[in-house]
Amino acid sequence: MNQTTFKPLVHGIFDPATWTVTYVVYEKPGGACAIIDSVLDFDTKSGRTSHASADKVVHYVHEHNLRVKWILETHAHADHLTAAPYLKEKLGGQIGIGAHIAQVQQVFKQVFNLEDEFKTDGSQFDVLLSANQSIALDEGVGHIMDVPGHTPACVAYQFGDAVFVGDTLFMPDVGTARCDFPGGNAQSLYASVQKLLSLPDDTRLFMCHDYPPTDRAVAFVSTVAEQRTKNIHVHHGVSESDFVRMRKQRDATLEMPALILPSVQINIRAGNLPPAEANGTHYLKIPLNSL
Ligand SMILES: [Fe+2]
């Protein structure tokens, strides 16, 4: 297969509760697929997790007779919990994330004062993926791109002409991801965005989220050409210093995401719950006056 003309099929499932898009990427019905950035539903009032969103993915995979090879994360999300272990149990596949996740685990092990046994080497995940490493579907091969900035461990996944950009670019009228979480860096995000914008004009860029203005419907795919001309934060001509100034000013006005505390504690464990306490119940922590 000619990897430059490889055009995978992409199905996006939008979760209105967290504004997240989960993708199923594949070459043909009946073949192998990757699932990118799944969502585990979480009710903050009761502390209950549930699987309605993940079951949409399960349904789609069954309906198209796909074989799950990869369950991928673009980063340790701060706004939704991952359903990766649930999907692995239902569908198989290997859970992968960018190799720099270890840095994120180190930061949050401190923030949450996690148990001594919590490893900060990424070993909770099945595979740690490094830049330029390739991952195969059937004949088509995907590549990993390091795109740090929103977190130090963010990666994008490129399968042929489709790139799953994680929290870097958003739709052109929304802009870019925030850089103010622990380990975030606006200069790095600018460099990562330039890397994405240097891809061919017609490359399809799939967003991790959409926060649509009131006058348009949810959308989650654009092209490099559209982003270069229209992205409100990083269109052609915006310098690194302009971007960093804008990003810092804007980040200073943003509240923490509603699910940051549960999300991070679950997601740095590859989606697993913290160890149960002596009574058999799993607990999450709330660090006071810390974030
Ligand atoms: Fe994120």
| DSSP tally for the chain: helices H, then strands E | 7, 14
Residue 3 is predicted with a pLDDT of 66
Residue 290 is predicted with a pLDDT of 86
CA 36 – ligand 1 centroid, Å: 13
CA 211 – ligand 1 centroid, Å: 13
CA 40 – ligand 1 centroid, Å: 15
Which band of pLDDT confidence, cut at 50, 70 and 90, is reported for residue 1?
Answer: low
- Cα dihedral sign, 41-47-86-154: positive
Residue 2 is predicted with a pLDDT of 66
CA 177 – ligand 1 centroid, Å: 8
| Region 266-289 average pLDDT | 97
Give the whole-angstrom CA distance, residue 287 versus residue 113: 9
Residue 195 is predicted with a pLDDT of 97
CA 80 – ligand 1 centroid, Å: 8
Percent of the chain with pLDDT over 90: 96
CA 184 – ligand 1 centroid, Å: 10
Which band of pLDDT confidence, cut at 50, 70 and 90, is reported for residue 5?
Answer: confident
Half-sphere CA count of 45, side-chain side, radius 13 A: 0
Provide the whole-model pTM.
0.97
pLDDT of residue 160 exceeding 70: yes
pLDDT of residue 171 exceeding 90: yes
CA 147 – ligand 1 centroid, Å: 12
Give the whole-angstrom CA distance, residue 95 versus residue 85: 8
- Exposed e or buried b for every residue in 222-243, given b needs 16+ CB within 10 A? bbbebbbeebebbeeeeeeeeb
CA 273 – ligand 1 centroid, Å: 19
Residue 4 is predicted with a pLDDT of 64
CA 159 – ligand 1 centroid, Å: 21
CA 280 – ligand 1 centroid, Å: 31
CA 60 – ligand 1 centroid, Å: 24
Say which amino acid occupies 132.
Answer: N
Instruction: Tell me the pLDDT of the chain averaged across its residues.
Output: 96
pLDDT of residue 249 exceeding 90: yes
| Region 234-255 average pLDDT | 96
**Hey, what are 26's tokens?**
């594949």
CA 210 – ligand 1 centroid, Å: 12
Residue 233 is predicted with a pLDDT of 97
Say which amino acid occupies 5.
Answer: T
pLDDT of residue 147 exceeding 80: yes
Helix axes 52-63, 84-91, angle to 10 degrees: 30
Q: What are phi and psi of 52, to 5 degrees?
A: -60, -45
pLDDT of residue 264 exceeding 80: yes
Residue 259 is predicted with a pLDDT of 95
pLDDT of residue 214 exceeding 70: yes
CA 107 – ligand 1 centroid, Å: 16
| Region 16-32 average pLDDT | 97
Give the whole-angstrom CA distance, residue 135 versus residue 128: 11
CA 186 – ligand 1 centroid, Å: 14
Would you mind telling me the total number of residues written for the chain in this entry? Answer: 291
Maximum CA extent, the chain: 59
Which band of pLDDT confidence, cut at 50, 70 and 90, is reported for residue 87?
Answer: very high
CA 180 – ligand 1 centroid, Å: 11
Selection from 106, 39, 25, 110 nearest residue 69 by Cα: 25
CA 189 – ligand 1 centroid, Å: 12
Which residues, listed in sequence order, are joined to residue 146 by a DSSP beta bridge?
Answer: 155
pLDDT of residue 266 exceeding 70: yes
Give the whole-angstrom CA distance, residue 221 versus residue 227: 10
Residue 208 is predicted with a pLDDT of 98
pLDDT of residue 250 exceeding 90: yes
Give the whole-angstrom CA distance, residue 257 versus residue 236: 29
